[in-house]
Amino acid sequence: MKGIILYKSKYGSTKKYADWLSEATKFSCVETDKVDIKSIGDVDVVILGGGIYASGIAGLKFLRKNIGVLKDKKVVVFCCGASPYEEKGFLQLKEHNMKVDLSNIPLFYCRGAWDLDSMSFIDRKLCNMLRKMLSKKDPSEYEPWAKALMDAGDEKADWTDKKYIMPILDFINK
């Protein structure tokens, strides 16, 4: 089996998972911005990973643009976010991102990291605004993602773990 791992990572967690997948599969690993679609013509498997930003999955633009070329390949997507996995939120994310021509592509979740200091000014500002808005609510009413955001605070946290790639590996080895 020949494959490639494509990724779009803003702060490094998605790249870490892509590297782990590359290590486990021996597939090459390339950023979506640097891949030539012609170079993946002879692969059997395409794994695309992207971080979650404002409920969107980075890298899906590449997939949508090239879905016709990839239609005869086993395509898998994984997304990476700071929140703990929660079924309802994951299904909403999937419904929002994996529409129409992407609806039959399996989506997996990998938990990432949190580091306000490494964020861009805009991302840091947006997160702080969201936290300020959430702080006005009763914490017992927080959804899991909101609780995780508030619990993270200003501290660095890294929840990346190789266990999250196991379902992806199981799927591509079917």
Task: Tell me the residue type at 1.
Answer: M
Q: How does pLDDT run across 92-133, given as a tens digit for each residue?
A: 999 999 998 899 999 999 999 888 788 888 888 888 888 898
pLDDT at res. 138: 92
pLDDT at res. 44: 94
What domains sit in the chain, N to C, each tagged with a CATH number?
3-114+157-172 (3.40.50.360)
Long-range contacts, 123-127 (Cβ 8 Å, 24+): 123/10, 123/53, 126/54
Backbone angles phi, psi at 71, to 5 degrees: -60, -25
Compute the C-alpha angle 64/88/118, nearest 5°.
Answer: 65
pLDDT at res. 152: 79
Q: Is the pLDDT of residue 19 over 90?
A: yes
Backbone angles phi, psi at 98, to 5 degrees: -100, 65
